Amino acid sequence: MHRFVRPQLLLRDSKQPLLPTAGQLCTNHKSVVSCIRGYVVLPPTNDEEEKAMLHRMMRVDHAGEYGANRIYAGQMAVLGHTQISPLIQEMWDQEKQHLRKFNEILAENRVRPTLLLPLWNIAGFALGAGSALLGKEGAMACTVAVEESISEHYNSQIRTLMEKDPEKYTELLQLIKEFRDDEMEHHDTGLEHDAESVPGYQLMKAIIQAGCKAAICVSERL
Amino acid sequence: ASPLWLDMAALIRGLRAGRALRGLGGVAVQGTRSTQCSNVRRGFHRAALLRLASDSKSDTSVPPPSYHEVHTAGESSSSSAQGESSEDAQPNTSFQDQSGEHSEDYETEEQLQVRILTAALEFVPQHGWNMEAITAGAETLGLSSASTGMFNNGAGDLVLHFVAQCNAQLTETLAEQNNQVQLGQAESKKTGEFLKDAVEMRLRMLVPYIDTWPQAMSILLLPHNIPDSLKHLSTMVDDIWYYAGDRSTDVNWYTRRAALTGIYNTTELVMVQDSSPDFEETWAFLDNRIKDVVNMANTAKQVQATGEAVVQGLMGAAITKEIY
């Protein structure tokens, strides 16, 4: 996704308030610019270690949502003209929203995106399309496996942040909890729509989840 | 050994014991100027109190043991009135007060290093990027030449300091310009023009040192300096793109920064060999490189759009085949 923004455009975008917030006028590039919103999701910090940790978390979350997007795109490409397509489209739209949010956070906080994005692009689309070729149940099974992995990942991030300082990370925790709840909803939807009835469900689920774990591990670092 | 050196040995043991007691972690080591042992011990005590008071976790470099001993040895052995008067002339860093913890008067070792290196820069055209320039700089601040012992990586420290200083200046200027644009006091520039102006601004900071800059570049390429110089370079390029308005969160983040790094490095090389008036040829070269990159970016966009259209078509055909 291409985002090339002139700083002043942030002022003129019709969806945003016309008055510049203090954040927009902030000239210290190291501090967090809150831009349009009145609050910041990532708390500003001067501690290098904490900043690195937060950036890593945002990087991998962004990669995850990007991958999920591509998975649903792959599924829609195959099952786009079937009965299940409105459901997949709905879930895809929610993922698009999540991705948009993470794009915002990355841009505001100058977080480096993961270098492997092109890889997740292809791998996600292939996984989505491949699972959809097994039919609607295959697609649902893939959804269940992936959403379970993502929820687990979000839960561990929530745990980490709660252990560190729940007060400080209130907005971030709220965001992650909201996204985790959405992903759990997708997982449950998948189960409702006969995910388990696909042949080789357990094997497929295990393989996909192992792949997700590896992807998360690598995206944190690269 | 003379009795003076025996005293120094005892002092050194005392200093080391004091440091051991202080432990590792946040450093607030003071540049001690006093020639009296008691003041030095009080300094350590204050340093420990300061560290307890502050909650800074950032770790500045652990002071090399040589600094204190060398410095106090230098101070003790030099009995010139000059040393004393220059000490009086700089109240900020002296230990004049005996009362207690006045942390604002303290200068950390890092701040002292910065002051010495900044002073050393004016001697670079004369001496080059080496310890001689640092020594000359230290002497203008009234410190003994032995104080340069704290720079383990002499020339490297000096060049890296200069690079950091230039980058900070560049960032400040870009932030100020950005502020003006957001307030509507200035027009925003097109990307190519912005990049050209930013790179030119940054390279112009090399002009006073351009004759010795090849030496500095080779110092930056030494293996032990490469991590730091790469970090400075990548931060600078990231800053320039940020203020140019880049908010990309895909692979473009990498391609843009790689392109600008290439432009910057090649232009720098052209500059050190340029003998035209006011480096006109360098700026012309820079202009052409930026135009190349902008053209490539536009072409890439077109190729991507075409590619996407083709893929859509193929997928459409595939799905139609799949359903039927």
ipTM score here? 0.78
Any known ligand binding at A98?
A: yes
Residues of A at the B interface, defined by Cβ within 8 angstroms: 1-8, 11, 20, 24-25, 27-29, 47-48, 62, 77-78, 80-81, 102-103, 106-107, 110, 112-113, 115, 117-118
Written as one letter, the residue type at A168 is K
Q: Give me the residues of chain B with pLDDT under 50, please.
A: 1, 23-40, 43-97, 99-102
Instruction: Give percent of chain B above pLDDT 70.
Output: 67
- Judged on CB neighbours under 10 Å (0-12, 13-18, 19+), B202 is buried
- The yes-or-no verdict on residue A214 having pLDDT over 70 is yes
- Nearest C-alpha in B relative to A46: B58
Chain B contact set for A114 (CB, 8 A)? none
Rounded to whole angstroms, the Cα distance separating B141 from B29 reads: 19
Q: Positive or negative, the Cα torsion across A200, A202, A205, A209? A: negative
From the list A1, A77, A80, the residue facing B249 with the nearest CB is A1
CA angle A60, B255, A67 (to 5 degrees): 30
Contact between A69 and A124 (Cβ < 8 Å): yes
Which of B163, B126, B243, B19 is CA-nearest to residue A29?
B243
Residue with tokens 């560190």: A164
CB contact under 8 A, B171 and A24: no
Rounded to whole angstroms, the Cα distance separating B18 from B12 reads: 10
CB contact under 8 A, A77 and B322: no
Domains, chain A, ordered by start: 48-220 (1.20.1260)
- Domain extent listing, chain B: 4-68+72-91+152-323
Any known ligand binding at A183?
A: yes
Chain B: nearest CA to A18, how far in angstroms? 12
Q: Which one has a higher pLDDT value, B183 or A31?
A: B183
- The yes-or-no verdict on residue A58 having pLDDT over 50 is yes
pLDDT at B289: 95
Other CB atoms within 10 A of residue B91 CB: 10
pLDDT at B301: 87
Chain B contact set for A25 (CB, 8 A)? 179, 182-183
Residue length, chain A? 222
Any known ligand binding at A147?
A: yes
CB contact under 8 A, A11 and B245: no
pLDDT at B27: 44
pLDDT digits (tens, 9 = 90+) for A81-140: 899 899 999 999 999 999 999 999 999 999 999 999 999 999 999 999 999 999 899 999
pLDDT at B149: 87
CB contact under 8 A, A7 and B181: yes
Contact between B57 and A47 (Cβ < 8 Å): yes
Rounded to whole angstroms, the Cα distance separating B260 from B254 reads: 10
Rounded to whole angstroms, the Cα distance separating A63 from A41 reads: 18
CB contact under 8 A, A106 and B249: yes
pLDDT at B165: 96
Contact between B271 and B206 (Cβ < 8 Å): yes
Helix extents (H) in B90-190: 109-121, 124-127, 131-140, 154-182
Rounded to whole angstroms, the Cα distance separating B72 from B33 reads: 7
Rounded to whole angstroms, the Cα distance separating A72 from A82 reads: 14
pLDDT digits (tens, 9 = 90+) for A130-168: 999 998 999 999 999 999 999 999 999 999 999 998 888
Residues of B at the A interface, defined by Cβ within 8 angstroms: 57-58, 171, 175-176, 178-179, 181-184, 188, 191, 238-239, 242-243, 245-254, 301, 315, 319, 322-323
Other CB atoms within 10 A of residue B122 CB: 13
pLDDT at A48: 87
Chain A: nearest CA to B175, how far in angstroms? 5
